[in-house]
Amino acid sequence: MRKKILAANWKMNMTVGESEAFLETFLQEVGEEKRVEIVIAPPFTALSKVSDLLRDVQYVWLAAQNMHWEKPGAFTGEINAFMLRELFVRYVILGHSERRTLFGESDEIVNKKVIAAHESGLKPIVCIGETLAERDGNMVNEVLERQIRGSLAKISVKQMDETVIAYEPVWAIGTGRTATPSQAQEAHAFIRKTVAEVWNKETAENIRIQYGGSVKGNNTAELMAQPDIDGALVGGASLDPRAFAEIVANTCGLLA
Ligand code: PGA
């Protein structure tokens, strides 16, 4: 049984003060919910504060939104895995489509980061997904397979067990346009099949594949009910503590 993983990707939002206010409301709303894994990815500037606030909270985990693959050194403006580990960060989102399109991250770059994350004990959440033009051109499977093989090149079976994949169709991110549950399920099933081909069947059965792209309280249940959807990566709706708590509640509702 794969435990569902619900992650809040705050992107370039939330000051330290706003993060604190969010957590106060969110923790109250969500209660001590351990049936799903809850993850919060604040911007770097709020990581330290959120880490402190979550120190005694055993059911919400911390993620970073990006990192550089190098060891400490002369890389102005960058943050590496060692720095994240010091703050008890558990996950790191890598290869988000905004990183790929706005900051030029190729599969090769994402792969270096995934390798570095595993080497230092961080669990990567690796994002993949097609653009609208690629979907319209019937290239979804081709794009997903290329991203899986490229971003996860040289990752061992053991490391795959500590990896999460996030399927985020680029056209659904921040657009209010969600993939239908069957479109999402189809892509997730293809991703799982590809993982079985590249690694093995057991790895494919164990790996968690999140859906991301305009997930909200009112579309959570039907998406999370799909057999190959193991959680959500949530942007916009994760900025409101009540909206994110509703996503958690509606996912847990399926497990009751
Ligand atoms: P969204 O973002 O929920 O605002 O569509 C999802 C994401 O980019 O991870």
Q: Which H, E and C letters describe 194-210, residue by residue?
A: HHHHHCCHHHHHHCEEE
118 is catalytic: no
Q: Quick check: CB of 169 below 6 Å from ligand 1?
A: no
205 is catalytic: no
Which protein residue's CA is at the shortest distance from atom 1 of ligand 1?
235
Q: Running DSSP on this structure, what letter comes out for residue 65?
A: S
Helix residue ranges, H only, 138-200: 140-151, 157-160, 181-198
For residue 173, what are its two tokens? 């991110």
| The pLDDT of residue 53 | 97
Look at strands 208-212 and 164-167 and give their pairing: parallel
Q: Find the 170 Cα to ligand 1 centroid distance in Å.
A: 9
Residue 213 carries which side chain, given as an amino acid letter?
Answer: G
Please state whether the predicted TM-score (pTM) of the whole model is above 0.75.
yes
Angle at 125 between CA 134 and CA 176, to 5 degrees: 50
Q: Find the 58 Cα to ligand 1 centroid distance in Å.
A: 25
The CATH number of whichever domain residue 75 belongs to comes to: 3.20.20.70
Burial of 205 from C-beta contacts in 10 A (0-12 / 13-18 / 19+): exposed
The catalytic position among 33, 96, 118, 246 is: 96
| The pLDDT of residue 176 | 84
The catalytic position among 37, 130, 168, 246 is: 168
Q: Ligand 1: which of 12, 165, 168, 238 to mutate, judged by most atoms within 8 Å of the beta carbon? A: 168
Q: Quick check: CB of 212 below 6 Å from ligand 1?
A: yes
Per the structure, how many domains does the chain have?
A: 1
Per-residue pLDDT of the chain (256 residues; tens, 9 = 90+): 899 999 999 999 999 999 999 999 999 999 999 999 999 999 999 999 999 999 999 999 999 999 999 999 999 999 999 999 999 999 999 999 999 999 999 999 999 999 999 999 999 999 999 999 999 999 999 999 999 999 999 999 999 999 999 999 999 998 888 889 999 999 999 999 999 999 999 999 999 999 999 999 999 999 999 999 999 999 999 999 999 999 999 999 998 7
Report the distance separating Cα 135 and Cα 26, nearest Å. Answer: 36
The boundaries of the domain holding residue 64 are 5-252
Q: Quick check: CB of 129 below 6 Å from ligand 1?
A: no
